[in-house]
C-alpha cells in the first residue's frame, strides 16, 4: 500500500491527536479510546472478522449492523440479537518495535518512541478485539523483550510497552536492524502477521535484507515508518551542533545552507524505502508523529481485508 493510501479514512472516524493521547497516563485506556472511536467511526460491530464461521450471539445495540440480526432467534424470543463470527484466521499478530536511541527524539510533546508505543498498543488492542493472538518484540541491536502471541497476553504487552516510556536509549551505538530482526524471526516459529515499527535509519537495501528474516518464514509484513515532523521539514534556523542520537557524534550545521539538500535526501530515502519494499510486496506506510493514529488503524484493516481475500 502506498504511503498516501492511509489518508482515505472513513467518514465519521474520530481522529485522536497524539499530543492529547500523550497526556493519558494509562496505556490501556489510551488504546481503548482510539480503537473504540475508530470502530465507532466505521459503523461496524466490534468484531470485524471476515469469516462466516458462527461464534456466538450478543444483544443488539443501537448503531449495530442490521444485516447481522438473527431474525429466527427474534421470532422465538422477541428479542434482538446479533450473530458474532470468528475472525477468519485467528491469526497471530506480533509487533516488532524499535527502541533504539534515535526513536527517543521528539521536537514536540510526543517522541517517536511514544508514538510507536501508542500505535503498537492500538494495533494490538484492535487485533485482540478480532480474537487474534497478540504478541510483542522490542529491540535495539538485539531483542530486548519477547511476549509470545496469545489471546491472553494483551495485558503483558501493554505492561511491556508502558515500561518503554523512560530512559535515554542506553549506550551509544550505530543502528543495526539485521541482528535484531534475525533474532526476532527465531522467536516466531509459526506464520502470522508481523508489524515492524521503526524510524529505519539504514539504507533501504539493508532494511529489506533485515526484513527478509521475517518474510522467509511466510509472515505477512506491515512496515510503519515513524518520523518526527522536524525530521521531514528541518525547520531549524540557528546554526548549532546537531547530535546523532545513535552514535552521539556531534556535527556543526548551518540550517539555511543545508535545508534543501537535507529535505531532498530524506524524501529520496522515503521514496526508495517505499519502492524496494513495495517491489517485494511488503506493505509500507510513512507516519509523522503529529498524525492521528486512526490512519494507521485504517491502513492495517485494509491490509487485513486484502490478505483475507488472497489467501
pLDDT above 60: residue 110: yes
Query: Rounded to the nearest 5°, which phi and psi values hold at 53?
Result: -80, 115
Give me the mean pLDDT over the 9-16 stretch. Answer: 42
pLDDT at 88: 44
As a whole number, the mean pLDDT across the chain is: 82
* Residue scoring higher pLDDT (214 or 56): 214
Beta-sheet pairing, 133-139 with 220-227: unpaired
Pick from 36-40, 68-72, 202-206, 215-219: least confident: 36-40
pLDDT at 11: 37
* CB 208, CB 274: distance < 8 Å: no
pLDDT above 60: residue 51: no
- What are the residue ranges of CATH 3.40.50.410 in the chain? 5-44+90-310
pLDDT above 70: residue 33: yes
Residue whose cell numbers read 521528539: 106
* Residue scoring higher pLDDT (29 or 223): 223
pLDDT at 98: 97
pLDDT above 50: residue 12: no
| pLDDT one-digit tens code per residue, 228-272 | 999 999 999 898 888 887 778 898 989 999 999 999 999 999 999
pLDDT band at 274 (very low <50, low <70, confident <90, very high): very high
Per CATH, which fold does 5-44+90-310 belong to?
Rossmann fold (3.40.50)
pLDDT above 90: residue 143: yes
pLDDT at 251: 87
pLDDT at 47: 42
pLDDT above 60: residue 4: no
| pLDDT one-digit tens code per residue, 114-129 | 999 999 999 998 888 8
| pLDDT one-digit tens code per residue, 173-231 | 566 899 999 999 999 988 999 999 999 999 999 999 999 999 998 999 999 999 999 99
* HEC readout, the chain: CCCCHHHCCCCCCCCCCHHHHCCCCCHHHHHHHHHHHHHHHHCCCCCCCCCCCEEEEEECCCCCCHHHECHHHHHHHCCCEEEEECCCCCCEEEEEEECCHHHHCCCCCCCHHHHHHHHHHHHHHHHHHCCCEEEEEEECCCEEEEEEEECCCHHHHHHHHHHHHCCCCCCCCCCCHHHHHHHHHHHCCCCCEEEEEECCCCCHHHHHHHHHHHHCCCCEEEEEEEECHHHHHCCCCCCEEEECCCCCCEEEECHHHHHHHHHHHHHHHHHHHHHHHHHCCCEEEEEECCCCCHHHHHHHHHHHHHHHHHC
In the chain, % of residues over pLDDT 70: 78
* CB 272, CB 286: distance < 8 Å: no
pLDDT band at 305 (very low <50, low <70, confident <90, very high): low
Amino acid at each position: 500500500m502506498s504511503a498516501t493510501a492511509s489518508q482515505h479514512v472513513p467518514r465519521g472516524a474520530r481522529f485522536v491527536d497524539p499530543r492529547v493521547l500523550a497526556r493519558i497516563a494509562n496505556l490501556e485506556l489510551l488504546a481503548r479510546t482510539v480503537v473504540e472511536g475508530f470502530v465507532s467511526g466505521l459503523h461496524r460491530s466490534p468484531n470485524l472478522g471476515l469469516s462466516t464461521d458462527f461464534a456466538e450471539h450478543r444483544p443488539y445495540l443501537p448503531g449495530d449492523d442490521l444485516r447481522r440480526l438473527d431474525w429466527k432467534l427474534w421470532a422465538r424470543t422477541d428479542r434482538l440479537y446479533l450473530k458474532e463470527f470468528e475472525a477468519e484466521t485467528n491469526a497471530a499478530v506480533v509487533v516488532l518495535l524499535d527502541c533504539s536511541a534515535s526513536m527517543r527524539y521528539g521536537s514536540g510533546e510526543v517522541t517517536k518512541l511514544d508514538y510507536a508505543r501508542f500505535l503498537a498498543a492500538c494495533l494490538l488492542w484492535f487485533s485482540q478485539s478480532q480474537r487474534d493472538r497478540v504478541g510483542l518484540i522490542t529491540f535495539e541491536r538485539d531483542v530486548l523483550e519477547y511476549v509470545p502471541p496469545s489471546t491472553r497476553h494483551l495485558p503483558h504487552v501493554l505492561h511491556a510497552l508502558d515500561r518503554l516510556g523512560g530512559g535515554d536509549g542506553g549506550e551509544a551505538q550505530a543502528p543495526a536492524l539485521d541482528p535484531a530482526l534475525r533474532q526476532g524471526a527465531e522467536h516466531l516459529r509459526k506464520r502470522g502477521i508481523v508489524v515492524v515499527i521503526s524510524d529505519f535509519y539504514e539504507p533501504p537495501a539493508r532494511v529489506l535484507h533485515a526484513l527478509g528474516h521475517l518474510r522467509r518464514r511466510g509472515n505477512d509484513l506491515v512496515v510503519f515508518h515513524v518520523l518526527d515532523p522536524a525530521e521531514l521539514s528541518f525547520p531549524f534556523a540557528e546554526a548549532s551542533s546537531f547530535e546523532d542520537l545513535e552514535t552521539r557524534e556531534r556535527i556543526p550545521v548551518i540550517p539555511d545552507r543545508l535545508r534543501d539538500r537535507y529535505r531532498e535526501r530524506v524524501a529520496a530515502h522515503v521514496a526508495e524505502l517505499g519502492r524496494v519494499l513495495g517491489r517485494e510486496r511488503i506493505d509500507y506506510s510513512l507516519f509523522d508523529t503529529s498524525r492521528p493514529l486512526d490512519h494507521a488503524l485504517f491502513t492495517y484493516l485494509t491490509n487485513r481485508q486484502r490478505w483475507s481475500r488472497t489467501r
